[in-house]
Structure 1
Amino acid sequence: MRETTISRRRFMKTTALATAAAFQPLFWIPRSASAAQELRVWTYNNFITKEFRQSFESETGIRIRVKLIDDQGKELNLLVAEKPNFTADVVTVAGHRFPQFINQGTIEPLDESKIKSWETINPVYREADWMIRDGKRWGVPILMGSEGMAYNEEKMGKVDTWDVMFDERYKGKIAYQVQDFLSIAMQYLGYDGTMVSYLKRPEVGRRAVEATKNFLIKHKHLVRAFYDSGAQVQQMFINEDIWVAQCWSGPAARLIMDGFPIRYTIPREGGFGFVYTFSVVKGARNRENAYKFLNAIMSDPRQGTYLTKATGFVSTFVGAEKGLTELERKASSLSQEELERITFFSPVAVEFKYKLFDRAVEEIKAA
């Protein structure tokens, strides 16, 4: 067995420095003496790199105040609780969650007259159906990810099935994020994890969620931990507390880039895909600064490169992959066969889905 020589300290250091090499300011925006000099952003860890933040603040005089989030549902609930006096100007929203954020009156459509150019964003993302509602875009897509399986290859060999998540041999070495894994478990059991097919048959959908909930409770004794953030699952893999987990592609890719014996795959039963966006909060106090921020992010494809290096997720920026090393490209890519196993989360049934999921998640945790 190959000895793992990368410590937690080295892992955290390399993650923090992933985007530092050869970084130079990529944009220039004149300061405005009358402008409010702050921008409040709610986002995930490393979605705003240290280097981008320093350059943006230096060039604009606008201080970015970051509040880290780890869950879309929690973020939405916090925004709803604050309405209409939001403490954020820009929030990070997964595209399939747009209907919830829009219907709750927490984000507003982009004022595209303030967007200098969309050319850096791949048209696959900027023209996607889920991006547009009532003829308007509701965010700037920045990163694409998938939800699959990460596992320790040295401990488990090659794995391509979700069966291992319910295998007694791996008792105490399994972890997952309950809400996200619920969709995967539904697919695994032969149900529709997107819930779209149940919109006209809601009772069938309720029974499917109930059956999946009971299945997960039955196998709960195998689980080492339910986690909330990418950093948590990364640390469990580093410590070898777990060998296998339902995981987002970004955190898994970061582990691979840093030399840990982790593999990431979309098992044969399938996985899910999603796109993260930066969206402007409805009635944002610092709206002008929000658009300066969005334009700065989209100012150069290298911004996308740095985001992939920092997060492990695939950039939506045209040409961003050109700045990646061979290892970084390998860590953040999937085979054609794996790509064909991905189902993108749909915004169509999101309200119906999470109404049932939120209750099921609490019952699984409490069981």
Structure 2
Amino acid sequence: MNFKLNRRGFLKAGAATLAAGLAMPALIGRAHAAGVVNIVGHDSYVPKDLREKFTQETGIVINLRSTTDQSQIFNLLAAEGDQRQTDMSIIAGHRMFAYIATDYLAEIDESKLPGMSKINPVYRDADAQFIQGKRYGIPVLTGFAMMASRKGVVAPEDTETWETIFGDKYAGRVTLRPGSALYAAMFHLGLQDVWTGYNGDSAAVEAMLKECREYAISRKHVLRKWYDTTAEFQQLYFGNEIDAGMGFTETAMLLAGADSSVQPGIPVEGTTGWTYNYSLFKNSANQENTYKFIDFLLQQESIGSSMTRSSGSLSTFLDATSGLTEAEAQAIQFSDEQLQRITWLDVKGADDNRYGLLDQYGAGLREA
């Protein structure tokens, strides 16, 4: 189900080679599992200061292998097989069904997480958080695709439209992320209803994605260059190589919070949003420790601002802006009308193959 947010709710909430690269060191494997929690996911989604505080208070060591790639996490779990070493990860809600279909995720036992009451019910109780009536993740962050542009250079009317990225007006001074280009093209071309209204017609989705891919390739000449990471985007901006770009909240918000010349914007054509969730894996060696750690995080007074500041994404916690600086809080304030432009990604069921098709048609855009 797709759902919308209003401003009040938003502000209150605010594989062998791969396995070798991501797998936990042998010394923290199952044979030595007592007193640890093994995590795979981006380190900014599990703030370092709170990891250290938990270890100081409980003696339980938090081992984290950092990656932002959801497919890498999935392949790591497949490589582990029955010898599960990974206890938890941070999984995007719309990518969760693949983990459930392969029986990797454990259903969340909410009785062990009293701290869930601190999550804004707009996120916590949304229909999109439940798959076949069960909860498999605790939503702690939310993000969406948006724009960041340079004040005084990009005209005010151009700060909230995908035309700025794909058009000729700012040619040579814009950037785009290959993995998200098809979403941007989809809304710019007005084809998003094929995606959001998916009813099992994979052929229609495939035809739409093909059109988006062809369009993105036809407009790549306007890009200064493609980028992949937040650091690359920042380098392009501060190096005065670009004046506008498409990024996720963790890219645009961090930039806007650090530099008052940055204007964040939600495109009028629309954009996509998602939640990031703490999820536990079946048959993990340290499940009780993992529940203790997650509830510890949920109970921290500073968790909302800490996660927003460390990740650049928006926390789902009540009073999410508490503890942020004025500049940081200002960067995440949007009107009701702006927030209504966000369509939240979901999974329709076991036969929903939209994301596989998206990956297929998005592959190789940089080289095309």
| Structure 1 residue ranges (4+ consecutive) displaced by more than 6 angstroms after TM superposition | none
Aligned to 1:60: 58
Aligned to 1:7: none
Q: Deviations over 1:104-128 (max 9, x none)?
A: 3222111223223421111111111
Aligned to 2:266: 266
CA–CA distance in 2 between the matches of 1:49 and 1:279?
Answer: 16
CA–CA distance in 2 between the matches of 1:53 and 1:193?
Answer: 42
Farther off after superposition, 224-233 or 335-344: 224-233
Aligned to 1:216: 216
Structure 1's 185 and 78: CA in aligned 2 closer, same or farther, altered over 3 A?
Answer: farther
Q: Deviations over 1:267-313 (max 9, x none)?
A: 11111211111101222222122111111111134211211222232
Structure 1's 65 and 346: CA in aligned 2 closer, same or farther, altered over 3 A?
Answer: same
Alignment of 1:333-348 (within 5 A): 333-348=333-348
Please report how far the alpha carbon of residue 236 of structure 1 lies from its aligned counterpart in structure 2 after TM superposition: 2.4
Aligned letter for 2:298? M
Aligned to 1:11: none
Q: Deviations over 1:40-62 (max 9, x none)?
A: 11222422222112211111112
Aligned to 2:124: 126
Tell whether the 8 Å contact from 2:146 to 2:246 is kept in structure 1 after alignment: yes
Aligned letter for 1:143? L
Which consecutive unaligned segments of at least 5 residues does structure 1 have?
A: 1-33
Structure 1's 42 and 224: CA in aligned 2 closer, same or farther, altered over 3 A?
Answer: farther
Structure 1's 364 and 193: CA in aligned 2 closer, same or farther, altered over 3 A?
Answer: farther
Alignment of 1:177-196 (within 5 A): 177-192=177-192, 195-196=195-196
Alignment of 1:353-364 (within 5 A): 353-364=354-365
CA–CA distance in 2 between the matches of 1:114 and 1:129?
Answer: 21
CA–CA distance in 2 between the matches of 1:290 and 1:147?
Answer: 31
Tell whether the 8 Å contact from 2:172 to 2:222 is kept in structure 1 after alignment: yes
Alignment of 1:2-13 (within 5 A): none
CA–CA distance in 2 between the matches of 1:329 and 1:288?
Answer: 35
Alignment of 1:221-260 (within 5 A): 221-260=221-260
Q: Deviations over 1:116-170 (max 9, x none)?
A: 3421111111111122224321111111222111112243232221111122343
Match 1:96 to one of 94, 97, 100? 94
SS at match of 1:195: helix
Q: Deviations over 1:159-209 (max 9, x none)?
A: 221111122343333222223221221121121277242433322221111
Tell whether the 8 Å contact from 2:194 to 2:205 is kept in structure 1 after alignment: no
Please report how far the alpha carbon of residue 82 of structure 1 lies from its aligned counterpart in structure 2 after TM superposition: 3.4
SS at match of 1:274: strand
Farther off after superposition, 342-351 or 126-135: 342-351
SS at match of 2:299: coil
Q: Deviations over 1:24-47 (max 9, x none)?
A: xxxxxxxxxx97122111222422
Please report how far the alpha carbon of residue 84 of structure 1 lies from its aligned counterpart in structure 2 after TM superposition: 3.5
Tell whether the 8 Å contact from 1:150 to 1:265 is kept in structure 2 after alignment: yes
Alignment of 1:1-367 (within 5 A): 36-158=34-156, 159-192=159-192, 195-348=195-348, 351-367=352-368
Aligned letter for 1:231? A
SS at match of 1:46: helix
Tell whether the 8 Å contact from 1:80 to 1:104 is kept in structure 2 after alignment: no
What is the aligned-residue identity percentage? 31
CA–CA distance in 1 between the matches of 2:136 and 2:130?
Answer: 7
SS at match of 2:285: coil
Tell whether the 8 Å contact from 1:151 to 1:263 is kept in structure 2 after alignment: yes
Tell whether the 8 Å contact from 1:176 to 1:245 is kept in structure 2 after alignment: yes
Which consecutive unaligned segments of at least 5 residues does structure 2 have?
A: 1-31
Structure 1's 281 and 233: CA in aligned 2 closer, same or farther, altered over 3 A?
Answer: farther
Tell whether the 8 Å contact from 1:148 to 1:267 is kept in structure 2 after alignment: yes
SS at match of 1:330: helix
Tell whether the 8 Å contact from 1:184 to 1:193 is kept in structure 2 after alignment: no
Structure with higher RCO (Cα < 8 A, 6+ apart): 2
Q: Deviations over 1:290-339 (max 9, x none)?
A: 11111111113421121122223222111232322322211122222211
Aligned letter for 1:233? F
CA–CA distance in 2 between the matches of 1:241 and 1:82?
Answer: 43
